[in-house]
Structure 1
């Protein structure tokens, strides 16, 4: 963790008007996050499926995803999205969490996850789960924050596979 934290951090809910900001952040974080884990073709395919304006609008408007934007020193530096899972009223899923590479190691990811946990608790959340590629170094980050490996899951996405751990954290 870096010794110098940004002095001004704000986290706020995103709206449909923030979709261009989310796309801008995704463009800066997606490839660096996955380039050593999955093929370039899979990175590009998944990005095209998940991060079009239409797809993000559907996630927000129809699929019930809440997006949070994190600002450091007034500039967008990260985002997360989460939703309640149909399996149970108290089970929520963290769909996305990304911090700009230039801002990683400053505690911002932890701040963003804590904001997601607080938001889910306020609406009855008791468990938060996420999917993470089984070769993603972020696994240790999630474990430090109290997430535990719950199961393995292989999910087809177009001609590719997401080979994930499902990790869970019980919220206090």
Structure 2
């Protein structure tokens, strides 16, 4: 079957995008992981063809057009009747928040053109270190406009991905801050 006749989920499932059996991912020094609970299905797809040349999602979404940014992962989550597609970007430094925001929004905006609306879109940006840029509120506003208020998270805690997938009170903002005593 030619890749131009496949749908996005067929590309994800039938190419090297799918990370079978894995519910963790590492990009540089940044790692995210989710431990599935009873009755949950969680699938990780490494969609960035720069780190995973076997994934053809970028070519499907933009053809030969250059300059389009893509996030690192798509995470599919299902439990009972709920279906979530989460667009995930990992950064070693939180100062790259603007670029990460652009990557998840750009990927989702192009991806959603090929799907029906029977899923809930979410975004998760994880920064393993560094200072949050002064423009973080601007990036939160952009994410909120695209994904809605409770469907995205910017975090410094890599296991918060499970919380956003499950719809548990996301820590909207820049992650948890340690209080100094």
TM-score computed with the length of structure 1 as normaliser: 0.37
1 or 2, which has the higher strand percentage? 1
